[in-house]
Amino acid sequence: MLAVLLCAARLLLPPDSTVLLIRVLDVSDARIGGDAILITDSSAGGARHVLIDAGEHGPRIAAWLEQLHVDTLAAVILSHAHVDHYGGLGTVFSRVPVRAFVYGGTPRTAVSYRALLSQIGRRHIPVVTADTGVRLLTLVTGADSVELRILAPPRGCGTLPGAAGGDAVNNCSVGVRLARGTFAMLFPGDAEQSELGWWMMTTPALLRADVLKAGHHGSSNATSAELLDVVRPRAVIISANGRQHPFASVLGLLAARGIPTFCTADHGTVTVRVPRGGEWSITTERAGRCHARTAR
């Protein structure tokens, strides 16, 4: 495992912010799916930020980062090479200093993707290619560290044809498991059943989590009874636009198991708060109830 110490500039925050905050940002204006997750660890009185994906509308994500007083990103993690996940990163890189970029190394011929990688090179941002095994990234905050374990995609993703279709790219997602104390949250990107099955076979212990950010925006090819049996989440968050996702079958499966579910299309930005030594909780931007996709 590669341990990377992610130390970003300190930023004083109000006392009620001295917790770990995981914000699943509302990018429901995305054409298809959209993910953007901001992790802020301020348990030592300062703030260190990690961004997982950036939707497809960069100015909106950049405005959020400014509103949330993000002056440096300790790391940016790209789950996989689809524009509803990387489209906003170019704007983010142009406005906020980034200490490290983590991705799976999957090749693609898409012009916008190649332009993003070129921009990263021009800015001399250190790159961590999580293409094998498990990388360990640690947010350093004294004795209250937050650990991010990066799950590599299956073998073969590094040689995926550049023009490969959507399902193949989804199944080359990097996964992220965040842990702080006894709390854990899993971010599987858009991994579908074949990649999830590979993780369940090779790293099942790293899938166990209190909160699951549903894979592939709440599609049925990413959330199954078998996965829920392994993860055993006490809550699920779905980032989706409400039109193409989430699927009714997934919402039904979660409801049948009594798992509280929060959807960005209905609840707006969903925030997980993890205080030091206390019980984690979930708050939403607005009241709502998850609805199944309206488009077919």
pLDDT (mean) for 64-79: 96
Q: How confident is the model at residue 44 (pLDDT cuts 50, 70, 90)?
A: low
Greater confidence, 29 or 162?
29
One-letter identity of residue 36: A
pLDDT above 90: percentage of residues in the chain = 79
Q: Which residues 6+ apart lie within 8 Å of 291 measured at CB?
A: 242, 263, 265, 266
pLDDT confidence of residue 141: 63
How is residue 285 annotated by DSSP? S
If you write DSSP's letter for every residue of 145-177 in order, what string do you get? Answer: -EEEEEEPPPTTGGG--TT--HHHHHTTPPEEE
What digits encode the pLDDT tens for the residues 12-21?
334 445 589 9
Domain boundaries, the chain: 3-284
pLDDT confidence of residue 290: 97
pLDDT (mean) for 144-148: 88
pLDDT confidence of residue 3: 39
Range scoring the smallest mean pLDDT among 100-104, 162-166, 244-248 = 162-166
pLDDT confidence of residue 142: 63
- The fold of 3-284 is Metallo-beta-lactamase; Chain A (3.60.15)
In sequence order, what are the beta bridge partners of 24? 37, 270
What digits encode the pLDDT tens for the residues 256-293?
999 999 999 999 999 999 987 779 999 999 999 999 99
**pTM assigned to the model:** 0.92
Q: How confident is the model at residue 2 (pLDDT cuts 50, 70, 90)?
A: very low
Cβ(156)–Cβ(132) below 8 Å:
no
